[in-house]
Every structure is written in structure tokens, then in C-alpha cells.
Amino acid sequence: MSISSLSKKLDFIYAILYNYNRKFWENLKKGEEKMIKGNVDLLKEILDKSQYTVAICGSGMLAEMGFITVKTPERAYEIEKKYGVSPEYLFTSVYYNTRSDKFFEFYKNEMLNINLEPTQSSYVLAAMERAGKLQCVITSNIYENPQKAGCQNVINLHGSVYQNKCPKCGRMYSLDYIKAAKRVPLCENCNTMIRPLVSLFGETLDSQLMTRTTQEIEKADVLLVLGTTLDSEVFSNYIKYFNGSRIVIIHKNSHYSDEKADIVFCDEPKNILTQLGY
């Protein structure tokens, strides 16, 4: 066989393989689209039948705001390089009490200097609540996005940046007051350092919030897990109390614990929730 004829045969085989490969991926994509559409329809059906639906919102919901949490390796490295201390130590009660100037420098620059407006996901959750399809939102985020979007029954498991209290006299202060302070925000009544009512790393969570979270999950017959996983460091101890019938996960990254769910969407919550039509 001449080199010329061999070359033609190889070109022919290559063309067949190329077309087969292209059709394979096109069909796979169409299949995925049908599967996602089918899952969205199934999710709507599940929500329609549910008597009590609870949504759990994790750090993936913050990612929709463009906020990268300080625990991610890249962000933690940048912060340690900037402040000379890791965020795991900066954002603690020890640092708040002993290096308050540095604590508030970090807190205001890295935790408060972001876009705090609700995302599409939060507005959909509020619409679901108004439609009677969602009974409670439990969030680990500290920016009150669900409330600002219109949700009424919300548990801020880690507190809120909008709640700031003088530990001595109990006077409450706004977020704007904290941001406007030149260094350490002090109480106007007693000159005591104000404490943001957010959960710092290593602190025990508010026992009342923990109890409410457990009770809400126990009541649920459908659990929406948004922007987090069933094995979440924050939520796993509460999820074990779920005795309902359906678990739905919407999270950008797949996880080994996904197999425990009834429906899994490997996507940002906003891309799926907005398809529900609320």
C-alpha cells in the first residue's frame, strides 16, 4: 500500500471518528439538558406536595455575590500575607480581645467591604415563601440576604453583621456605625468596645439558634441544601435530624455525600432556582 493511499484511509478513519465523537458529545449534552429539565420538573412537583420545606444556605450562596470566603486556601494565603496572621486566628474572640485594632481592620476590610445586596437565589426563596412553598431558611452567612430579599422565617446560624452590641450596657449599633469608626468602634454610652454579634472562629454557636435549627429540620419533609453539602462542617450535625422524605442538593461542586440525596444539581443555586417559576 502506497503512502498516499494509506494517508487517505487514515484521513477517512479520522473523519469518521471525529463525526462520531462530535455526535456523542452533542447527544450527551442534549441528554444532560433533558435530565436537568426533568429534575427541575420533579423538584417543582416535590415542592408542590411538601407540607414543610426548609432551605439550608451555605457558603456557595456567598459565591454568587462574588465573595470568596476567608477559609479558602487562596484567600487565606492573601490575608496572611497582608496581615501577617492567618484568618483562622484573626477572626477569633482572642484576637478581638487582645488585638482589637487589628481585628477591626481585618473585619471591616475583608468581611464588610463587599457587595451586600441579595442575589437571585435569595429573591426566589422569598417568592417561594410567599407562595407557601418554603417554610424556613437556615443560613450560615452573616449578611442577611434572605431577609433583605423578603424572607420572613430565617435563622442566621452564625449571627449578623447588622447586629452589634455593647457587652457592658447592651446598647445596639448599626453596621454603618461599625464601618464609620476610625479604628475600634466604642460605645457612646460607656466607651466599651462594641462586639459584632457574629460567630467568630472556634466559638460555640448560640444555643437557642442551634435548638431552633434542629427543630426546623426535624419538622421538614423536604430539605433544600443550597451551596453546601450534606457533609458540611456547619450543617452535618443538624442534617442528621432530618426525618423527611426528600433531600435536594444544588451545589456547584459534586461531593461523595451527594449519593444520600434524591436530586442533585451540580450548578449554582441561582441557575436552578430561577427555573422554578416563582
Q: Would you say 142 and 116 are in contact if contact means Cβ atoms under 8 Å apart?
A: no
> Strand, helix or coil at 71?
coil
Amino acid occupying residue 277: G
Torsion of CA 234, 238, 242, 246, to 10 degrees: -10
> Strand, helix or coil at 136?
strand
> Strand, helix or coil at 144?
coil
One digit per residue, pLDDT tens: the chain, 278 residues?
555 555 555 555 555 555 555 554 444 444 444 444 558 999 999 999 999 999 999 988 888 877 778 888 888 999 999 999 999 999 999 999 999 999 999 999 999 987 778 889 999 999 999 999 999 999 999 999 999 999 999 999 999 999 999 999 999 999 999 999 999 999 999 999 999 999 999 898 999 999 999 999 999 999 999 999 888 888 999 999 999 999 999 998 888 888 888 899 999 999 999 999 88
Amino acid occupying residue 141: N
User: pLDDT of 31-85, one tens digit each?
Assistant: 444 444 558 999 999 999 999 999 999 988 888 877 778 888 888 999 999 999 9
User: CA 84 to CA 122: how far, in whole Å?
Assistant: 35
User: What pTM does this model have?
Assistant: 0.83
The candidate with the shortest Cα–Cα distance to 113, out of 105, 101, 121, 122, is 105
In order of 7, 12, 160, the CA distances from 1 in angstroms are 10, 16, 77
Task: Report the alpha-carbon angle 253-211-147, nearest 5.
Answer: 60
